């Protein structure tokens, strides 16, 4: 099946054909590092990871560039308020961001360029735009892009600029459709910028946010790229302005496929720092959640549908994930013969129908993703497979081949989702660490019971529970398990 993605540029689903066969150039707008990113931002970054992993699964060699915006209105203001250098200030938040990406199993980009380390290509771009008369220097000495000079301005964001007042300008990086006007490419130095400035032929100042992405995308990936992505709030003005600057400077199409993810919301409002209705990744972890449950939650809705964040929803995803991990763990144990409840596998004379079932669910899963990353549909194949595996395990009707195929199929699906195996691996590490402690406590409890000291036996059980270990007495033996929040 061909891969199709919804392209904001044409407002329809289109067959994905990269410029170079087997290679994909992909630019994702990264964070502005003035505070830790919130889980709304991570909805977009997880969506971009889904896209990255899906393309990789389909055999493409993906070159992904994600910029780090470490100079803009917000970072400068915050660093001055905190009386630290811009670099020290932004470094703290960019390293938190890169760490958070790792915690969420987000596949590494080829490069994470910092805006402040790419000022020269930004200056070069402004020079070209001035020379070609797409840009002009305003009375405030800032350089502006003249949107009327670009015939296509507004098309990308569905905006009509015919009623635009001549000379209307905006100096902020962020503004709404109501303020559509000439936008700033280069901001003339202002005392509020402290010691953040660069000298250029067109004056002392600093780059505007939109310019940063155009310059870094073209520097790393070339004049025309395959994919550019971000959240829907970036369609206007950010991406519209990137198109204007880039295409006017090169006379070439800037990007072939634009993908945008809808917002994560809270009670119907966009999760955002300005509204204060946000959680960081650490907030979620500190509440005792497995970070992969959040990843699963963020992936559970189609990326072009808004998703409402609730802890009830997250709780339910955590349960779903625990079930998947338990199924995967059981398969592994059965395959390695460590499973002790059913010691002997049934002799299954014809195991081909289960093999077919695994394959058809895998195909269904991948075809759903090929169809504009339809995760809800892909999930339905995963859950159907999980149900069939569990059914086969409890009726002891799976052959060793079946068990292996089931495990491989889950692994293939999870190479894109990245929730089951990371959770399983984390749990195994915890189990390894806790194993000798838990076993010695079980011994102590056994002795206490033999001596009739039931009070001590109960307190041992309680102590273990506080550490996330549950004891189960089965057939004269005691086994231990982790509680689900471990």
Strand 12-15 and strand 4-7: pairing? Answer: antiparallel
User: Interaction with ligand AMP in 337-376: which residues (CB under 6 A)?
Assistant: none
Q: Kindly state whether residue 302 participates in binding ligand AMP, applying the rule CB under 6 A.
A: no
Nearest 10 degrees: CA dihedral of 227, 230, 234, 239?
-20
In the complex with ligand AMP, the residue whose CB is nearer, 38 or 407, is 38
In the complex with ligand AMP, the residue whose CB is nearer, 40 or 207, is 40
Least CB distance to ligand AMP at residue 309 (A)? 9
Q: Kindly state whether residue 234 participates in binding ligand AMP, applying the rule CB under 6 A.
A: yes
Q: 227: helix, coil or strand?
A: strand
Q: Kindly state whether residue 228 participates in binding ligand AMP, applying the rule CB under 6 A.
A: no
Asked whether the beta carbons of 171 and 140 are under 8 A apart, the reply is yes
Least CB distance to Zn ion at residue 34 (A)? 15
Q: Kindly state whether residue 67 participates in binding ligand AMP, applying the rule CB under 6 A.
A: no
Window of 100-108, 182-190, 270-278, 378-386 that interacts with ligand AMP by CB under 6 A: 270-278
In the complex with ligand AMP, the residue whose CB is nearer, 242 or 370, is 242
Binding residues for Zn ion, rule CB under 5 A, total 2
Q: Kindly state whether residue 263 participates in binding ligand AMP, applying the rule CB under 6 A.
A: yes
Window of 138-146, 242-250, 269-277, 322-330 that interacts with ligand AMP by CB under 6 A: 269-277
9 binding partner (options Zn ion, ligand AMP, none; Cβ < 5 to 8 Å by kind):
none
Least CB distance to ligand AMP at residue 228 (A)? 11
Residues 6+ apart with CB under 8 A from 322: 484
Q: Kindly state whether residue 464 participates in binding Zn ion, applying the rule CB under 5 A.
A: no
Q: How far apart are CA 79 and CA 91, in angstroms?
A: 11
Among 7, 32, 171, 409, binds ligand AMP (CB under 6 A): 32
How is 151-213 classified by DSSP, letter by letter? TTTTTTTT---TTPPTT-EE-SS---GGG-SEEEEEEEP-GGGTT--B--TT-SEEE-HHHHH
In the complex with ligand AMP, the residue whose CB is nearer, 154 or 230, is 230
Give the start-end residues of each E strand in 262-415. 264-266, 269-270, 307-308
In the complex with Zn ion, the residue whose CB is nearer, 48 or 318, is 48
Cβ neighbours of 437 (radius 10 Å) = 13
Side-chain-facing half-sphere of 332: CA atoms under 13 Å: 13
169 binding partner (options Zn ion, ligand AMP, none; Cβ < 5 to 8 Å by kind):
none
213 binding partner (options ligand AMP, Zn ion, none; Cβ < 5 to 8 Å by kind):
Zn ion
Q: Kindly state whether residue 43 participates in binding ligand AMP, applying the rule CB under 6 A.
A: yes
Dihedral sign from CA coordinates of 304, 310, 311, 312: negative
Q: Kindly state whether residue 272 participates in binding ligand AMP, applying the rule CB under 6 A.
A: yes
Strand 61-66 and strand 23-28: pairing? Answer: parallel
Q: Kindly state whether residue 73 participates in binding ligand AMP, applying the rule CB under 6 A.
A: no
Among 18, 154, 208, 231, binds ligand AMP (CB under 6 A): 231
Residues 6+ apart with CB under 8 A from 209: 32, 69, 72, 73, 173, 174, 238
64 binding partner (options Zn ion, ligand AMP, none; Cβ < 5 to 8 Å by kind):
none
Q: How far apart are CA 54 and CA 184, in angstroms?
A: 36
Q: Which two tokens stand for residue 276?
A: 């204060």
Among 31, 207, 208, 237, binds ligand AMP (CB under 6 A): 31
The closest alpha carbon to 382, from 409, 418, 415, belongs to: 409
Q: Kindly state whether residue 213 participates in binding Zn ion, applying the rule CB under 5 A.
A: yes
Taking phi over 0 as left and psi of -120 to 50 as alpha, with beta for the rest, 197 belongs to beta
The closest alpha carbon to 29, from 159, 210, 254, belongs to: 210
Helix axes 352-370, 39-57, angle to 10 degrees: 120
233 binding partner (options ligand AMP, Zn ion, none; Cβ < 5 to 8 Å by kind):
ligand AMP
User: Interaction with Zn ion in 17-46: which residues (CB under 5 A)?
Assistant: 29
In the complex with ligand AMP, the residue whose CB is nearer, 227 or 334, is 227
Window of 206-214, 306-314, 361-369, 383-391 that interacts with Zn ion by CB under 5 A: 206-214
Least CB distance to ligand AMP at residue 231 (A)? 2
List 225's β-bridge partners, or say none: 255
Among 41, 200, 240, 423, binds ligand AMP (CB under 6 A): 41
Among 154, 207, 208, 230, binds ligand AMP (CB under 6 A): 230
List 270's β-bridge partners, or say none: 265
Gyration radius (Cα) of the chain, Å = 27
Q: Which two tokens stand for residue 164?
A: 């635009």
The closest alpha carbon to 205, from 119, 314, 278, 130, belongs to: 119
In the complex with ligand AMP, the residue whose CB is nearer, 236 or 254, is 236
In the complex with Zn ion, the residue whose CB is nearer, 111 or 485, is 111
List interacting residues with Zn ion (CB under 5 A): 29, 213
List interacting residues with ligand AMP (CB under 6 A): 29, 31-32, 40-41, 43-44, 230-231, 233-234, 263-264, 270-272
């Amino acid at each position: 099946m061909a891969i199709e993605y919804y392209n904001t540029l044409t407002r329809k689903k289109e067959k994905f054909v990269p410029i170079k066969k087997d290679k994909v150039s992909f630019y994702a707008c990264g964070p502005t590092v003035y505070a830790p990113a919130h889980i709304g931002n991570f909805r977009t970054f997880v969506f971009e990871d889904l896209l990255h992993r899906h393309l990789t699964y389909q055999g493409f060699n993906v070159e992904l560039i994600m910029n780090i915006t470490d100079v803009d209105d917000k970072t400068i203001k915050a660093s001055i308020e905190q009386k630290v250098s811009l670099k020290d200030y932004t470094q703290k938040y960019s390293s938190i961001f890169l760490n958070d990406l790792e915690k969420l199993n987000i596949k590494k980009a080829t490069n994470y360029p910092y805006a402040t380390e790419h000022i020269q290509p930004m200056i070069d771009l402004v020079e070209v735009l001035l020379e070609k008369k797409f840009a002009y220097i305003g009375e405030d000495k800032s350089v502006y892009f003249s949107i009327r000079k670009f015939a296509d301005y507004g098309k990308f964001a569905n905006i009509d600029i015919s009623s635009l007042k001549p000379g209307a300008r905006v100096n902020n990086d962020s503004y709404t459709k109501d303020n559509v006007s000439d936008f700033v490419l280069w901001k003339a130095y202002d005392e509020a910028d402290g010691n953040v400035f660069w000298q250029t032929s067109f004056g002392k100042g600093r780059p505007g946010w939109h310019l940063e992405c155009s310059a870094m995308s073209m520097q790393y990936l070339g004049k025309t790229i395959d994919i550019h992505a971000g959240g829907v709030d970036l369609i206007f003005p950010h991406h519209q302005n990137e198109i204007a600057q880039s295409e006017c400077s090169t006379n070439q199409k800037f990007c072939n496929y634009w993908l945008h993810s809808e917002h994560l919301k809270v009670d119907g409002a966009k999760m955002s720092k300005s509204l204060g209705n946000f959680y960081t990744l650490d907030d979620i972890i500190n509440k005792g959640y497995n970070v992969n449950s959040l990843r699963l939650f963020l992936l559970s809705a189609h990326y072009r549908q808004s998703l409402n964040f609730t802890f009830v929803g997250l709780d339910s995803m955590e349960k779903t994930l625990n079930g998947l991990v338990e199924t995967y763990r059981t398969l592994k144990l059965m395959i390695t013969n460590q499973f002790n409840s059913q010691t002997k596998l049934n002799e299954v004379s014809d195991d081909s129908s289960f093999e077919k079932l695994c394959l058809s669910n895998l195909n269904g899963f991948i075809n759903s993703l090929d169809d504009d990353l339809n995760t809800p549909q892909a999930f339905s194949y995963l859950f159907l497979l999980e149900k069939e595996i569990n059914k086969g395990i409890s009726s002891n009707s799976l052959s060793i081949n079946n068990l292996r195929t089931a495990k491989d199929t889950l692994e293939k699906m999870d190479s894109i989702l990245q929730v089951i195996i990371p959770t399983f691996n984390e749990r195994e590490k915890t189990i390894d660490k806790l194993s000798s402690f838990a076993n010695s406590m079980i011994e102590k409890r056994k002795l206490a019971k033999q001596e009739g000291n039931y009070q001590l036996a109960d307190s041992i059980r309680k102590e273990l529970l506080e550490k996330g270990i549950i004891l189960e007495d089965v057939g004269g033996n005691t086994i231990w398990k982790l509680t689900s929040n471990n």
